Amino acid sequence: MKSDLDYIKHIHGEILFLKEEFNKTNKDLFLINNVLKRAFVRSIEIIGEASNKLSDSFKKKYPDPEWRKFSATRNHLIHGYFTVDYDIVWDLVENKIPTLHLQITEILGKEKNLFD
């Protein structure tokens, strides 16, 4: 069974991928690149799934990331895949992922210190 720290590491890895790929492109190129669009959606799905797997006690300890919103986004992408709005995907990566990156990095620092 994976620990909360394992799930946070998964989230962090997907954030790093999204940021790296985001910095290599622009919205117009993103919108015509089917591989990149699918990769972004998949990373967001993984973030949502990992957020959903975190224990309630962990979410209470760290309420700042909007865990429920990331889980809901994942559910929308998984269950409404015929209607993915890639403008919204781009906006999420551009405007929400940087904040999540800061929050997850802070959580990782605190949690890793517990095991050092």
Please identify every residue annotated as catalytic: 74, 79
Question: What are phi and psi for residue 54, nearest 5 degrees?
Answer: -65, 145
User: Would you say 78 and 45 are in contact if contact means Cβ atoms under 8 Å apart?
Assistant: yes
Q: Which amino acid is at 87?
A: D
Alpha-carbon span 66 to 15, nearest angstrom: 15
By CB neighbour count within 10 A (0-12 exposed, 13-18 middle, 19+ buried), where does 87 fall?
exposed
